[in-house]
Chain A
Amino acid sequence: MEVPILKQGAFLIATFQAALSDADLNQLRMGLVQQVVKFRSRAVIVDVTAMDVMDSFASRTLREIAHMIRLRGAETVIVGIQPEVAFAMVQLGLTLEGVATALDLEEGLAYLNEKFKTTN
């Protein structure tokens, strides 16, 4: 399944689909990191609004994505985690520690714009 990656100024926006398999996630991880390098993006927003389950694998992949992107000097914001999914995640013990989160795409953009305002 294709994960669309959209370039919006200095940011990249990746929109996850509901039924991503492990292979899709792995492919996405590679793709995102490559694009960050290619476009010299300052930040990546990963929109998971459509995901109805976030298990340990998906969560670990997100953390790895954030980590690899940080190594390339950019930041990652995860947006759109659904309330029920968030509840399941914390029960499982997945807290995405160290990764920025925001309510939705709009909030994610607002957060990043605020953050990069001074340096823009």
Chain B
Amino acid sequence: MSVGEIRVAINSDQDIVSARQKGRVVANELGFSSGDATLIATAISELARNIVSYARKGQITIRQVNGLNRRGIAVIADDEGPGIADIRQALRDGFSTSGSLGLGLPGVRRLMDEFEITSQLGKGTTVMVKKWRP
């Protein structure tokens, strides 16, 4: 079974909720356990919130990925916001430019199996994460 690509425009905090709800639905359809679906939905929530907080708008794309012998889910968060000056710093537990907990990005990395981030100052940020089905 294959799930088409789902795109959610992120413009406000309301969209964070709908993005993570859609993520949970796709994760369930792909056969993830409800425990894993919760991890995936939580990761989506963090990524979408960063878009709202730092770039104001962007989008979340959720789709199925196929590996050699496995199937999984990919979540791509991209925006055309200010970008991140120092990615290594941003990935550190507790680093935040907004006085928050600074757990979002490092936490998402722990929640998911694969984590890739690219960012360019003044151009925007793209985070792609994947989780494989056990």
Contact = CB atoms under 8 A, between A and B. Distances in A.
A28 to B, nearest CB: 14
Interface in B97-123: 100-101, 103-104, 106-108, 110-111
A68 interface: no
Interface in A22-74: 22-23, 52-57, 59-60
Contacts of B17: 19-21
B34 A84 contact: yes
Interface in B1-54: 13-14, 16-17, 20-21, 24, 34-35, 38-39, 41-42, 45-46, 49, 52
Interface residues of B, number: 27
Given A19-B17, A55-B45, A55-B46, A91 B107 contact: yes
Contact of A56 (B13, B21, B38, B101): B101
Interface SS of chain A: helix, strand, loop or mixed? Answer: helix
A6 interface: no
Contacts of A92: 42, 46, 103, 107-108, 110-111
B8 to A, nearest CB: 14
B39 A91 contact: yes
A22 B103 contact: no
Contacts of B107: 56, 91-94
24 contacts: A19-B17, A20-B17, A22-B13, A22-B16, A52-B24, A53-B41, A56-B49, A56-B100, A56-B101, A56-B103, A56-B104, A56-B107, A57-B45, A59-B101, A84-B34, A84-B35, A87-B39, A88-B38, A88-B42, A91-B110, A92-B107, A92-B111, A94-B101, A94-B103
Interface of B: 13-14, 16-17, 20-21, 24, 34-35, 38-39, 41-42, 45-46, 49, 52, 93, 100-101, 103-104, 106-108, 110-111
